[in-house]
A and B are shown apart, each in its own frame.
Chain A
């Protein structure tokens, strides 16, 4: 392949890279030209971005490992502290692996960036490494939440260590959101665009199972993309779905009802199945292993209820009313409480209703915080029997908070009247209210 022709690397290695990295010829060749020859000083920092599943991790890994370039490939999710990050890089540099023999410890302890630069330099001189060392920081967006000096430091690591090192950042977001407002060294940015449908087809079809022909699998991928391309372009997800549903596609062929070339018959068999998959497995309503079981047993998917079919929550009697009261307090303006809960509220002012039309629905604005006393006042007026303010009632409120049905707002001072918000949905609260024969809609300002 001429596009990857490069004097610095052996021809067969380059060919292997080209074979493995489909549809990314231009990005790979740009990278290789930036890298230059093994000993040459490369650009200090490269910033690569693109949506998820555009092959950033994969391409970098393939290129670095096939060409056997010395590198440290770090996932920033895993290194949640700077120390872990530094030590991992140093471990890679020294080919040190945490293992039982060394009590899972790192090569060297390293807490600060300053130490890191020092230890890195020492390591370089010990190993007398001449070639460029590549440090790849995957999921680099997490660096922004770590110490402030980390990102600027890594951007100019070459300068700080005065050695042949290149730092590559991989992320899903653009460089502008990274740049600190104090200014910093500008990296070279490289964009990995989304794959087009054709490219997806090409990449996905390249990994066909050995038992079947490439054309057969390609036709399957074609049908799959036809169904899913509108909702999902993530290559990993697509590949997962392809693998899950492939046995169903092959079924007529195995049974001898169709030949591999009977594309129409195969399509008729698989298409409804895939559509069903879109509503269930794809949304993780049903897990992939359950889906496979359904497929094997040839049942209808409708027999198995998805996760959202189990939305019902059983609650103690007063907890239900507490939740209802909290919902009312969250979505009704406090000034309307009189109208809803006072037995003899007299005449309802018309202005209340006029005001209503000018404003947006409270349900669109989301729940508002309310104080504990208001919650209890509403509770007392909606429960038929007398409720004593017992310890149990109060602990029920905090249970509702731990169950995430209520949230505590601004909990800095417990004495100073805590405030809560109700976080459940209208559907949920209506289901709860129905079980205690409470017509909640009649008490909601938005539905007057």
Chain B
């Protein structure tokens, strides 16, 4: 780790040099992304095509996620825009109204609760700003806490952003007005309101006709967005609000508080006298778990994209989301990483494209690629299940293999086509069960089905048991939902599944009609019960009834229910086979979960400890030296290992002696050990210790001058 650190600093130094040396800079920039992609490929088969498919696929996925994001934010933004529209309605008409005069002039404020996934907020705010720009007002300011340590900086930021804005609007005329010298100007709200008066007066002149400004009002509100309210200093906020509340009459200010936790933070940050100057309304965005559910639903549970995640890989991404950051952006980043990794490491990913395209590509496969196919484990297990002559053909005949490959890919595509709808149907059934044995969300069920044969799991069987106890109306509504899911597939393979489900529905309906006609069958024992009044007789009858009920033939409804559940079980076994069972699934499934975990959930402490404790794991020259402290290891490693054995306070002299012993261990002459430590060893020791101090393992202590204190406990 320490070596890495050194490398990092040198690279930053060299970056500094690039500014002065254009030649090296040029060299750097001339490498394109594609070059980087190809350069590192271990198996460079079809590198260019793989890169292109990778780029294309990711472009498509990205635009899909962006579209999704937009739709998800739509409702929230509409509400907000509605609020902004009416917030300063009184600014326009009822200025002189009595009640308006009497009321304290409050600043309209939208408290926007966005959830703790702070990394996602930037995107939301940017699109919010864009939408506001388009629909309500050209005056939108985004403020971030770290730019505003004091009221002065806050006002500066505010004024610069606003006055800079008009520069775009009034580009065509009077350019001398546009450049307001920031230095001379007083950064105060008085200046701002003066500027506002002037800026809004202008568009009234008939000369101006701009499509963007025409949708705005005559006096559009000035929207100030505090992106991360929690991190703002309370005093800065309070001062800003107190100052600006004095200007509401002249300047239609609207605040938007971006809140990650809960709106209670407003009361914690602002005193009553300040919060009483605000007119706060609450807006809540969709919770991030719902957001993730939609992303999974629209991005992974569709057949728009040839690329798929294996159960394990998906689990890693979901775990990071649920356990660590709640960030949809990071989830999508993880997905992107999987896409890139897949195309980068899997030579056969060249076939991960649309079916017609893959047909062409299969034809052009090289012999080496055919060999790659033969080495796939899924292919090998397929070969084993074949007749001997077929086996030979598969293993030796390239063109036959290509034919088969084509067939495998087609089979994979149709497998996916059936998989998702059936999965959704099963989910409709399991998500109404008590305690959700197969998960509440469709993604949980999806993971389960990807990983193993779901019908062999305990959860599945308990779910089936519960399904056999469903009430009629529940079954009927769920069946209807399933029919809706399957309707688009009526022309395809799933057509007869759909027919079967519709048939069930008809049966249920006729059942209903029957029971309406003849109810006597079911109620007769009860009627008999009412007649008996003798206690002994009654008990006897009750016992009888219990027995008959157990042995009794199932009612029609129960039989039908049985049939439905059996049918569901049957289609699950048919269509929800885990992908690992299919030959050539490696082409479209990315399964390197450990790579993902290593990249996305790094463990710096562990890495540091491994590097220092066992340098052989990083330095290949030391490989045979594993285990005990050896004198060829870097000095810092020796010092580190020795310090692990110490308590909270380490005596420097003892440490030095131990260090010297280890360093000179190879020299054999044990008579020297009692001798004075030589200067070189001393210097090496001091350097090692100061390196440890830099890394935060030890620090000098005032308790004892010749000691240092350990800052870490345990191994890592």
Contacts and interface: CB of A to CB of B under 8 A. Distances in A.
B102 A239 contact: yes
Contact of B104 (A105, A240, A402): A240
A103 interface: yes
B699 A416 contact: yes
Contact of B103 (A78, A80, A288, A314): A288
A215 interface: no
A316 B231 contact: no
B239 interface: yes
Given A284-B278, A314-B287, A98 B324 contact: no
Interface string B4-21: 000000000000000000
B184 interface: yes
The residue among A87, A105, A242, A405 with the most chain B CB atoms within 10 A of its own CB is: A105
B362 interface: no
A80 B194 contact: no
Nearest to B191: A104
Interface string A202-218: 00000101100000000
Contacts of A312: 262
Interface in B568-621: 601-606
Interface in B663-716: 696, 699, 711-713, 716
Given A287-B280, A307-B267, A311-B264, A240 B324 contact: no
B230 A77 contact: no
Contacts of A318: 323-324
B142 interface: no
Given A288-B106, A388-B603, A98 B191 contact: yes
B180 A104 contact: yes
B606 A307 contact: no
B598 to A, nearest CB: 10
Contacts of B262: 310-313
A246 B243 CA distance: 29
A314 B286 CA distance: 12
Contacts of A288: 103, 106, 279
Nearest to B98: A209
B696 A415 contact: yes
Nearest to A87: B186
A237 B276 contact: yes
A352 B604 CA distance: 38
B266 interface: yes
Interface in B262-290: 262-268, 272-273, 275-276, 278-282, 284, 287-289
B230 A402 contact: yes
The residue among B87, B98, B322, B604 with the most chain A CB atoms within 10 A of its own CB is: B98
Given A77-B239, A98-B190, A307-B263, A103 B696 contact: no
A246 B180 contact: no
Interface string A385-421: 0001111111110010011110000000001110000
B248 interface: no
A251 interface: no
A287 B279 contact: yes
A319 B188 CA distance: 41
B194 A100 contact: yes
B322 A316 contact: yes
A432 B696 CA distance: 33
The residue among B288, B696, B712 with the most chain A CB atoms within 10 A of its own CB is: B696
Contacts of B538: none
Contacts of A284: 267, 272, 275-276, 278, 280
Interface in B321-342: 321-326
Given A210-B98, A243-B99, A310-B113, A391 B711 contact: no
Given A288-B103, A314-B289, A396-B324, A415 B699 contact: yes
A399 B185 contact: no
Contacts of B242: 77
A261 interface: no
Contacts of A237: 104, 276
B264 A393 contact: no
Contacts of B280: 284, 287, 307
Interface in B73-120: 87, 98-99, 102-104, 106, 108-109, 111, 113, 115-116, 118
A77 B243 contact: yes
A307 B699 CA distance: 47
Contacts of B115: 314
Given A287-B281, A307-B264, A314 B98 contact: no
Contacts of A52: 273
Contacts of A246: 99
Categorize the interface residue count of chain B.
Answer: 35 or more
A389 B230 contact: no
Given A307-B267, A404-B265, A314 B180 contact: no
Contacts of A373: 712-713
Given A289-B281, A388-B606, A404 B230 contact: yes
Contact of A396 (B177, B268, B325): B325
A236 interface: yes
A209 B96 CA distance: 12
Contacts of B118: 399, 402-403
Contact of B605 (A97, A389, A415): A389
Contacts of A313: 116, 261-262
Interface string A83-127: 010010000000001111001111000000000000000000000
A290 interface: yes
Nearest to B712: A373
Contacts of A287: 106, 109, 278-281
Contacts of B696: 415
A392 B324 contact: yes
B156 to A, nearest CB: 12
A308 B263 CA distance: 7
Contacts of B711: 415-417
A104 B606 contact: no
Interface in A11-68: 52
Contact of B261 (A87, A289, A307, A405): A405
B708 to A, nearest CB: 12
Nearest to B325: A316
Contacts of A243: 98-99, 102-103
Given A242-B102, A284-B272, A313-B262, A390 B601 contact: yes
The residue among A247, A316, A389 with the most chain B CB atoms within 10 A of its own CB is: A316
Nearest to B184: A105
A31 to B, nearest CB: 24
Interface in A179-228: 207, 209-210
A99 to B, nearest CB: 5
Given A209-B98, A416-B699, A78 B186 contact: no
Given A284-B278, A312-B262, A317 B186 contact: no
B287 A316 contact: no
A130 interface: no
A315 interface: yes
A142 B275 CA distance: 20
Nearest to A288: B279
A81 B116 CA distance: 36
Interface string A357-401: 000000000000000010001000000000011111111100100
A317 B264 contact: no
B1 to A, nearest CB: 13
B604 A391 contact: yes
Nearest to A53: B273
B320 interface: yes
Contacts of A294: none
11 contacts: A75-B243, A80-B239, A209-B98, A284-B272, A289-B87, A307-B267, A310-B264, A315-B116, A373-B713, A404-B230, A404-B268
Given A103-B181, A390-B601, 14 more contacts: A80-B239, A84-B186, A104-B191, A106-B186, A207-B102, A284-B278, A310-B284, A311-B264, A313-B262, A319-B324, A389-B605, A391-B604, A396-B324, A402-B228
Closest 8 CB pairs of A and B: A243-B102, A104-B191, A392-B324, A209-B98, A240-B104, A105-B184, A317-B323, A287-B279
